[in-house]
Amino acid sequence: MNFSDDIRKVRIESLLSQEAFAKEIGVSFVTINRRETGKNRPSYQTIKTICEFCQSHNIEFDENKYLQSEEKTNESGEK
């Protein structure tokens, strides 16, 4: 699974619309929509926020696979 699949799974498991989920984690609807369709990548902080949301709602989310990927990207100078 990639991030877009995982974030959609988290949103559906929490029984929230894209708009409601966006409000819960403090981003815009457009941001959630683009992440679910794979059009943009999440920041380190957003990944941490999603992880905290998942922990508080007892939803499984493997933050490490995305945090490691984000750290590698930052180390190589890519954005």
Q: What is the pLDDT of residues 13-28, one digit of tens each?
A: 999 999 999 999 999 9
Determine the pLDDT at residue 70: 52
Question: What is the rounded CA–CA span in Å between residue 40 and residue 14?
Answer: 22
Do 7 and 50 form a contact (C-beta atoms < 8 A)? yes
pLDDT averaged over the chain? Answer: 84
> In this predicted structure, what is the pLDDT of residue 43?
84
**pLDDT at residue 76, as a whole number:** 46
Between the two ends of the chain, the Cα-to-Cα distance in Å is 21
CA atoms within 13 A on the CB side of 8: 11
SS3 state of residue 17: coil
